[in-house]
Chains A and B, each alone.
Chain A
Amino acid sequence: MDNDTIVTKVNAALAEEFELEQAALVPDAKIRDDLGLDSLDIVDMVIVLEKAFDFKLQNKESLAAIRTLGDIYTFIGELRDAGTIR
């Protein structure tokens, strides 16, 4: 899966599940301040991503580093590089 596909898939899933505008979904968008997703939503976001990319997050604490939408692309990219996501 290339990086563009990851971006498209993440954006589509988040737009649909959190009712967000596509235009707001830029790499620099801060999850909390710009997208309005708080700690309650992060849990749901993981489930959305798990479903979209068919994986199971093994370490919840790894979420702590995620601040921006770009961090999510990187996070998914790392799972792909590790072979967790095909």
Chain B
Amino acid sequence: MRCVVIGSGITGMTAALLLARQGHGVTLIEACDHAAPLLRGFERNELRFDTGFHCGGGVHRDGILRRWLRVLGVEASLEGITTSHSDVFMFSDGKEYRLPSGLRPVVAASERQFPGSGKPMENFLLLISQELASSPYLNPDIHSEPKGILADAGCLNDYLDKAGFPPHLRAMLSSRCLLYGVPPSLASWRDYTLVAGPYFQSCGSWHGGGAALVDALMHALQEAGVTLRLGCAVNAIEADTIEGVHSVVLNDGTRMPCERCFFTGHPSQLQSLLSHGLLRPAYLHHIADLPETNAALLLFAETYDALRDDESLFLLPSPYEMTTSDTEISWAAIMAKSSIYVYCGRPAADGRKPVMAVLFIPSANLPEGNPQPRPSSYVAWKRQAVESLRLAIEYRVPGLRGAWRIIDAATPLTMRHWIYGSTGSLYGVSHQRTSMPLFPSTRVPGLFLAGQNVLLPGVLGGIVSAAVAVGFAFGHNTVLKEFRACTAKE
């Protein structure tokens, strides 16, 4: 069958690969002039900033991400895989703790730093592992259909309450929600286990991070015979309600006939791609009003030795002052009350290390479109925001003063350009417990949705979302056959 995959991020590349391996004729379309721009990261001052994959969970030999990389045939191309990344948590009240990765090390570290918490932690991790192991897309031993999309296992806070962790430990566990941009108070238990769960099992990366993964996937796509069209925006998806999808039209006028189309962009874009009447008002309102994750300000910097290689710092407010609302973060409160994530990468040949810092901020009043040059009021706001964030980080990590240099910054305007969420959100659609999910299937026969906006963010979220969408299109067992066979060989 002729398949067109729109968007060449981790989801699009995975979907294209799985489809081609099943014998379909696949064209992968990307608006940017190079594949997977976000996963690949970018270079400034000859330093690579890995916006796509600086570290991830489930990377140990039997880990879920590792297993999928094996299925996709790229595991062997990734060198120097590490699995023991640890996180440092620095609270504004001066308390500092660490969480390693690996179930047993996490329990031991918990007991050592918070005496009495080892047993509840063991139980908490067991519940996470059980939930993770219940999906056929994450556990090769499960042969049933995926759970119904409306299945509800409650909210994260209920599980944290039940465990009775001390406040600082609870805040550390809650901060894993930063990985997908949902405030802990709104997080569902199931999504938490899917995104944060693998991090507890193992966490790490490989040489070259996201860029190395893109190179490996590009090679695999070529071998599988996928046609790649770069620099081509999609103008329309042509379809009718009876026959379904029949072609995808590119901005240069090229019409690509197809029977199946996999859309991996922001779902709100669909309205402008499909002709009127194909989707009902209820669905159009649903995709237009999807809740977005918070907007964010990102700093990109360099340092020699102020931070350790391959280390994540979570700068958290004192658990007694933590805000539960996602809108209360103001510049005035930044010094003590916000959560900031800082990551230091592996050193380049000359010893410089890339540093990325992320702060969730309220969605600013963004200029319309993608104006060049930027309006002066926006430039002034950005300068002040970057300076405030730099000072806030140096206040919390005094060792950075005079020991790092900011090279660049990304604002919600940057995010809106790449993610297409109207608010400049960092992770696109917010997967909150009470938000209604989007199905991979749509009312248009042959049109399927996939990606971080449909399932969950992250490299693993993208890969699994692609697999699930292909499963909806051609049957779950066709996709899972490879997934199961791959692990059976071990």
Contact = CB atoms under 8 A, between A and B. Distances in A.
B280 A46 contact: no
A47 B280 CA distance: 13
Interface stretch (A4-12, A16-24, A67-75): A16-24
A59 B158 CA distance: 14
B150 A44 contact: no
A61 B437 CA distance: 13
Contact of A60 (B150, B281, B283, B441): B150
A25 to B, nearest CB: 15
A26 interface: no
A56 interface: yes
A18 B280 contact: yes
Interface string B421-453: 000000000000010111101110000000000
A2 B219 CA distance: 64
B149 A43 contact: yes
Nearest to A19: B280
Contacts, number: 56
Chain A, interface residues (CB within 8 Å), range: 20 to 34
A44 B267 CA distance: 14
Contacts of B441: 40
Contacts of A48: 282, 285
Nearest to B154: A59
Contacts of B443: 40
B282 A41 contact: yes
A58 B152 CA distance: 10
Given A60-B150, A61-B150, A64-B150, A43 B436 contact: yes
Interface in B253-282: 280-282
A84 to B, nearest CB: 12
B190 to A, nearest CB: 11
A25 B196 CA distance: 45
Contacts of B439: 39-40, 43
Interface of A: 16-19, 39-41, 43-48, 51, 56-61, 63-64
Interface of B: 149-152, 280-283, 285-286, 289, 434, 436-439, 441-443
